[in-house]
Amino acid sequence: MAIVSVLKRQSKALLAVIAALFILVPAAYAMRVSPMVVEMESNGSNTVARVEVQNINAGKLAFQTRVFRMEIDKDGKITETPADDKFLVFPPQGALPPGGRQVIRLQWVGEPEIPTSQAYYVSVEQLPVPFEPGSKDAASAQVQVLYTMRALVVVAPPGAKPDVKPASVHQVNYQPPALPGATEQPPLQDGVAITLRNDGRRHAMMSNFAWHLEGTDRDGKFLRVDVSPEDLSRVVGTGYVPAQGERTFNLPVPGFGPGPIKLTFAK
């Protein structure tokens, strides 16, 4: 059975809200950062990576980069601390003409021997650009909308591997997050709570896999739900599970009863 329609409806609604927000932002200040996920190693040939910043509209784009250590707990709460000293970033600042591109080189300069993966955000922050005197923009603009975009950078020990297993899988009625602009909380969602445990020294990106759920419905009849990587990425993002840590994900997959649910992964 394919993933149920409620997940698709929720993801489509969220994408519609995000699209609406982008429509409200003046096009002259848009930028793109790619890739959004970078994997490196603390020693050897993979200590260097590259991220590209692109100015995709007609205005000038000035930017600066900052680096933050990212630690995430079981429930997805993120704690950030400045970590510019862990990377050599070149160039740390830049200015792009309309349509211009800049490749940013990242080199790990932290400890060459780390016990487990470490996660960071490379933040690309747009800076205000003064308008040229007498230009149409200078006469009409009152506010500049500035973007900040982030790439997730994970540094792992060379040769380390993840070891992810389901620690807990059960039916749950959970509170979904409210969509931007909503004045009321959405109703409780019938779904499945999944806790994944990673005993390996390397992080895992679990939305790269298909998830297969098997159990019984409320009437005791067999129920199987297959969740594709595309659907997972809309709901859980990368599905990041830290090395030697746990993450709990709530999936909007209704219909399962209180009995045991088996979770398996497939490429």
**Is residue 159 left, alpha or beta, with left meaning phi > 0 and alpha meaning psi from -120 to 50?**
left
Does residue 177 sit within a domain? yes
Separation of alpha carbons 28 and 30, rounded Å:
6
Q: Does 137 share its domain with 172? A: no
Output the pLDDT for position 28: 40
pTM: 0.80
| Domain contains 198 | yes
- The arithmetic mean of pLDDT across residues 203-227, rounded, is 96
Shared domain for 66 and 113, answered yes or no, is yes
Domain count, the chain: 2
Would you state the pLDDT for residue 97? 93
- Tell me the C-alpha distance between 224 and 263, whole Å: 10
Res 259: pLDDT:
95
Burial label for 40, CB within 10 Å (0-12, 13-18, 19+), is: buried
Choosing from 156, 184, 209, the residue where a domain stops is 156
Q: Residue 177, SS3?
A: coil
Is residue 20 in some structural domain? Answer: no
Q: How far is CA 113 from CA 42, 110, 122, 243, in A?
A: 7, 9, 21, 15
Q: Tell whether 149 and 220 lie within a shared domain.
A: no
For 87-101, write each residue's pLDDT tens digit: 999 999 999 999 999
Give the end of a domain, one of 90, 124, 156: 156
89 token code pair: 């970033």
Domain containing 223 — which CATH number?
Answer: 2.70.50
> Does residue 214 share a domain with residue 133?
no
Q: Are residues 60 and 146 in the same domain?
A: yes
In this structure, are 147 and 168 located in the same domain?
no
Could you check whether the bond before residue 180 is cis, i.e. omega within 30 degrees of 0? no
Residue 49 burial by Cβ neighbours in a 10 Å radius (0-12, 13-18, 19+): buried
- Does 168 lie in the same domain as 145? no
Question: Does 51 share its domain with 143?
Answer: yes
Instruction: Band the pLDDT of 185: cuts 50, 70, 90.
Output: confident
**Long-range pairs, 17-26, Cβ under 8 A, ≥24:** 17/179, 17/180, 17/181, 18/180, 21/180, 25/145, 26/145
CATH number of the CATH domain containing 34: 2.60.40.10
Distance in angstroms (rounded) separating the CA atoms of residues 206 and 229: 9
Confidence band of 238 (pLDDT split at 50, 70, 90): very high
pLDDT band at 258 (very low <50, low <70, confident <90, very high): very high
Report helix, strand or coil for 201. coil
Spatial separation of the C-alpha atoms in residues 43 and 157, rounded to whole Å: 7
> Are 84 and 172 in a shared domain?
no
Which of 156, 175, 197 corresponds to the end of one domain?
156
Same domain (yes/no): 139, 198: no
- Asked if 62 and 94 count as a contact pair (C-beta separation under 8 A), the reply is yes
Are 96 and 170 within one domain?
no
Whether residue 18 is contained in a domain is answered as: no
19 in any annotated domain: no
179 and 146 within one domain: no
The pLDDT of residue 128 = 86
Query: In sequence order, what are the residues at sequence separation of 6 or more whose Cβ sits closer than 8 angstroms to the Cβ of residue 80?
Result: 68, 69, 70, 71, 121
Which domain range does residue 59 map to?
Answer: 26-156
Which of 151, 205, 208 minimizes the C-alpha distance to 36? 151
